[in-house]
Amino acid sequence: MIALKRNEKVIYVQPPFWESYEGFFFFDVPNPNHSGKAPTVPREELKAQVRQELDMAYPEQPYTLELSRYGYGKHYPNVGFKLTAHKSFFDGFKLYPIGAWGWRTLPLKLTYYHRP
């Protein structure tokens, strides 16, 4: 990676997640918009709520959180999140049901942009 950064044609090297984290997993949160009749909760508000719960339950664990699945109404009983972190976070995670895929190691890929 150092040689890539020194290459004059390379404009930008995106910092890879695997420098900071080991892998990721998915988990489900009950959808507050499941009935389709209640006032809807915006996705960013729900994500902020889940982030706050994670920070309170696991204050020492660094992570990134992404919304992976979201919808309104009876066909969407859960909202899906992707959490990228260290394996120890996954091993101790008890806040919500973990998705069927379980723990996944991050792929060792690198994204960069260069001049022709």
CB 79 within 8 A of CB 67: yes
pLDDT at residue 94 tops 90: yes
What number of residues does the chain have?
Answer: 116
pLDDT at residue 33 tops 90: no
Quote the pLDDT of residue 38: 60
CB 24 within 8 A of CB 93: no
CB 80 within 8 A of CB 98: no
pLDDT at residue 35 tops 80: no
Q: What Cα–Cα distance (Å) separates residue 74 from each residue in 32, 34, 48, 56? A: 11, 5, 23, 30
pTM of the model as a whole: 0.78
pLDDT at residue 74 tops 80: no
Q: Where are the domains of the chain?
A: 18-108
- Average the pLDDT over 57-78 and give the result: 83
What is the token pair recorded at 23?
Answer: 């892998």
70 pLDDT tier (thresholds 50, 70, 90): confident
